[in-house]
Amino acid sequence: QLKMAGYEAEEIQAIFKAGIDTGTPNIDQLIDGIKEGRIKLTEFATAVPDSLKPAIKSLGMTQEGFQDLSKAIANGGDGGKEAMVEVAQAVLDIKDKTKQAEAGVAIYGTLWQEQGTKVAETIVNASKEVVTLTSNVDIMNRAVDGIDNEPATKLKESMTKLETSLIPVKTELAE
């Protein structure tokens, strides 16, 4: 479901990390809540049940705006990911805890009852966690470049070159 929503492997890892960071006692259940939310949100792209209308109002959205986000989630890709974050943030922004719980259950299902705001927090915080493979490689290369320029590294390289260049002399002396 996360892949269908447009998430790449490193983003899914960030979701797991963000979920763990919430202190959830059951990460599998938390991820199931996110997946259930994605499924329900895609269903809302075509029809919004009357029972959901109070939750949409609590989110501070119009029915059309909510359905636009649901359509983006159904389409996946970057737009789907952004819509998932926007919906999750809107749920977290509801000040009245009763209305927040109603919206959470309406969107994320019964797993919201088990995990509460941790479902939405995971989605929002994961969007801040994602670091691409390219940026990780760049960070590593900068660190290695810094190590390569240190005097101890230069000395070790010189010693290795000296050792290698002395192999013929050592071989001659051994014979």
Say what the pLDDT of residue 145 is.
63
Burial of residue 38, with CB atoms counted within 10 A of its CB: 0-12 exposed, 13-18 middle, 19 or more buried: buried
- Residue 42: both structure tokens together: 């895609």
Whether 148 and 142 have beta carbons less than 8 Å apart is answered as no
3-state secondary structure of 61: coil
Residue 92 reports pLDDT greater than 90: yes
Q: pTM above the 0.95 mark?
A: no
pLDDT tens track for 117-132: 888 888 888 877 655 4
How distant is the alpha carbon of residue 111 from its chain centre? 19
Report the percentage of the chain scoring pLDDT > 70: 82
- Residue 103 pLDDT exceeds 70: yes
For residues 32 and 128, is the Cβ–Cβ distance under 8 A? no
| Residues 48-88: tens digit of each pLDDT | 899 899 999 999 999 999 999 999 999 988 888 889 899 99
Burial of 58 from C-beta contacts in 10 A (0-12 / 13-18 / 19+): buried
Predicted confidence band of residue 133 (pLDDT cuts 50, 70, 90): very low
Give the pLDDT mean for 89-114: 91
| pLDDT above 50 for 18 | yes
